[in-house]
Amino acid sequence: MTAVLKARDVSVTLGAGPTRKAVLTDASLALRRGEVTAIIGPNGAGKSTLLACLAGLRAPDHGAVTLGDVPLERVSARERGQRIGFLPQVAEVNWDIDVATLVSLGRLPHQGRWEQSAADLAAMADALAATDTAQFASRVVGTLSGGERARALLARVLAGQPEFLLADEPLANLDPRHQFDVLALMRQVATRGVGVVLVLHDLAHAMRVADRVVMMDSGRIAADGDPAAVLTPDRIAAVYGVASHPVTLADGAPGLVLSGPC
């Protein structure tokens, strides 16, 4: 339970010559299991790139990502797949597979070459139950509504029983109710000891759901810590150019209202 996913001085540059652009500069952070971390920042701030580095999808040009003190590039692809789950921003699902088959794909890093073990089947059933998707397990993914689809895709990642779950904008294209549902699910997942990392655009959600907020600006980590300490009106104004007001919600939780450009 002590394994930590860490980025140390991670830098990424894209392009070459005059179009060369630093998309990530000296980003350092340590992610712990059982915690919900929200990565926020304006478009182009480097959120997705940072997430791709943490998922092992992109090797940083400088710096290192380590999983429990082992550099990520030295962890085998299979072990990385077992320990880090990744939910891409645009989920692609080919071949008209049904939800049960989709979820079974989440077991690929664990599975033997031919057969699914009892542990595989148990993890799949568990993931279907946790996301409340068992009732449409036999439906083709393409026929699901947006909310159902989001839960099915999440079930796929959970079936892999990862130590860390990295989700790139999991709330995109969801209506408010489904956004809350997915966030509640993410919280539940963290309670089971998974380190949850969410790239979010909605600052109010970040304020409400995250244990910790990492705010990015122009490829750098501008602030990292407790949501209320990071999401101050001054910082939001400086990074986003938007006026904001912290509020206290009916249940006593901290909230945030944005009132317009400033």
Partner 1 sequence: MKAQRLPLLIPALLVALVLVSGLSILAGKVWIAPAELFAGDDRWPIIVELRLPRVVLALLIGGGLGMAGAAMQGYLRNPLADPGLFGVSATAALGAVISIFFGLAATPMVLSGFALAGAALAVLLLSAIAGQSGSVIVFTLAGVVISSLAGALTALVISLAPTPFATGQIVNWLMGALTDRSWDDVMLAAPLIVLGMIVIASAGRALDALTLGEAAARTLGMRPAVLQAQIVIGVGLVVGASVAASGIIGFVGLIVPHLIRPLTNRRPSAVLLPSALAGALLLLVADSAVRAAPTVSELRLGIAMSLLGAPFFLALLLNMRRQIG
Contact (CB, 8 A) for 65 and 7 = yes
Which is closer to partner 1, CB of 1 or CB of 77? 77
- Beta carbon nearer to partner 1, 110 or 235: 110
Nearer to partner 1, 111 or 188 (CB): 111
Report in angstroms how near the CB of residue 245 gets to partner 1 at its nearest. 38
Residue with token string 């007001």: 245
Give least dist CB 215 to partner 1, A: 25
CB of 93 to partner 1, least distance (A): 6
Q: Return the number of the residue (93 or 216) whose C-beta is nearest partner 1.
A: 93
Rounded CA-CA distance 55/156 in Å is: 16
First to last CA, the chain: 44
Output the smallest distance, CB 10 to partner 1, in A. 18
**Quick one: 196 or 236, whose CB is closer to partner 1?**
196
CA dist., res. 211 & res. 145, Å (int): 30
Where would I find the H helices in 56-98?
Answer: 77-83
**Residues found near partner 1 in the complex (CB under 8 A):** 52, 55-57, 76-78, 80-82, 84-86, 88, 90-98, 100-101, 104-106, 108-109, 111, 113, 116, 121, 124, 156, 160
| CA dist., res. 28 & res. 262, Å (int) | 30
Q: Cβ 167 to partner 1, closest distance in Å?
A: 12
Closer residue to partner 1 in complex, CB, 135/259: 135
DSSP assignments along 179-243, one per residue: HHHHHHHHHHHHHTT-EEEEE-S-HHHHHHH-SEEEEEETTEEEEEE-HHHHS-HHHHHHHH-EE
Closer residue to partner 1 (CB): 108 or 222:
108
Q: Shortest distance, CB of residue 120 to partner 1, whole angstroms?
A: 9
- Output the smallest distance, CB 153 to partner 1, in A: 9
Nearest to 142 by CA among 206, 99, 199: 99
Q: Are 44 and 37 in contact (CB under 8 A)?
A: no
Count of CA atoms in the C-beta half-sphere (13 A) of 15: 8
**Structure tokens that stand for 159 in this block:** 């079936």
